[in-house]
Amino acid sequence: MSTPEPLEHGGSTRPTGPRPRVTVCGLPVHPLTLEESVAAAEALIADGGPHQHVVLNAAKIVQAHDDPELARIIRSCSLVNADGQSVVWAGRLLGSPLPERVAGIDFMLALWRSAARHGYRVYLLGAETSVVQETARIAADQGVDVVGYRDGYWDETQEPQVVAAVREARPDILFLAVPSPRKEYFLARTQKDLGCALVVGVGGSFDVVAGLRSRAPRWMRQAGLEWFHRLIQEPRRMFLRYAVGNTRFVALTAAYKARLLTGRSRDA
């Protein structure tokens, strides 16, 4: 079982995530199973934080390739999971094998079970008001100590009140369900002020839990076809993301593979 190892950070030594990390298209990923990821998260919570968890899929890797600040934020995160099956496949191709895909929603639900066992205080932030309310109710029914929740619609002038509300609730875990890269930028500005040990970005997971959207059948998830299920549900929003983003991700992976092959040929 992987456990956090000390890393020099800002002149002090504290756990910043499980080691070793591998690299996929220039970004770090922790080669962990779902069970190992939850154990690593529990260790980060015990450390007191602040720590940030992030997931990588093809779209986010392409975004980070275009956005150095987003890439910097991802590299600073204490725990990075491969959310997309395409990232797992790319890791194998690039010599950075990952044991499995750890989907954001699976990680969130597993952490809910951990929170119920260990008594972690949980705050839910994001999605529409009715959705986050229903998500909070479902989490509480599963034994989670939900100490607060709020929708994901606020502007810059309201941000201090949002941060203050989270801090006053004193959660151990904040689940943040807003789109990327908005959530990464928000946390880069506010993580130290939120006052929680671990922040977990969960994208559209609240919508799934609340029944607004469905997940792909297990066979589609195992075959790496969950993207197709999402495309059917949200064709207008997802078409460009998959048609353009996935094509760019394939090209980016091929470019990194070519660099590896070129480097090996030079070393020969």
Tokens 């908005």 locate to 182
Note the residue count of the chain.
Answer: 268
Determine the distance from the C-alpha atom of residue 19 to the mean position of all C-alpha atoms in its chain, rounded to a whole number: 17
Q: What average pLDDT does this structure show over 64-76?
A: 96
**Does residue 22 register a pLDDT over 60?**
yes
**Residue 17, token pair as written in the block:** 């995530």
- What is the rounded distance in angstroms from the CA atom of residue 256 to the CA atom of residue 262? 10
pTM: 0.83
Q: Residue 10: its pLDDT value, please?
A: 31
Which tens digits make up the pLDDT trace of 113-142? 999 999 999 999 999 999 999 999 999 999
Q: Which helix (H) or strand (E) holds 149?
A: strand 145-150
Which tens digits make up the pLDDT trace of 144-175? 999 999 999 999 999 999 999 999 999 999 99
Determine the distance from the C-alpha atom of residue 51 to the mean position of all C-alpha atoms in its chain, rounded to a whole number: 12
Residue 189 CB coordination number (10 Å): 10
Q: Report helix, strand or coil for 14.
A: strand
- 3-state DSSP helix/strand/coil % of the chain, to nearest 5: 55, 20, 25
* 160/14: higher pLDDT: 160
Q: Residue 11: its pLDDT value, please?
A: 31
Position 97 confidence tier, pLDDT thresholds 50, 70, 90: very high
- What is the rounded distance in angstroms from the CA atom of residue 249 to the CA atom of residue 49? 32
Which tens digits make up the pLDDT trace of 35-69? 999 999 999 999 998 999 999 999 899 999 999 99
- Let me know: does 17 contact 4? Beta carbons within 8 Å: yes
Q: Residue 1: its pLDDT value, please?
A: 36
Q: Residue 13: its pLDDT value, please?
A: 34
β-partners of residue 233 are none
Residue 192 CB coordination number (10 Å): 11
β-partners of residue 150 are 125
**Residue 194, token pair as written in the block:** 């939120």
**Does residue 8 register a pLDDT over 60?**
no
- Let me know: does 97 contact 22? Beta carbons within 8 Å: yes
Which tens digits make up the pLDDT trace of 196-250? 999 999 988 999 999 877 565 665 666 565 655 565 566 666 556 656 667 888 9
Q: What are phi and psi of 15, to 5 degrees?
A: -65, 135
Q: Residue 3: its pLDDT value, please?
A: 35
Q: What average pLDDT does this structure show over 91-103?
A: 93
CB neighbours of 223 closer than 8 A, spacing ≥ 6? 85
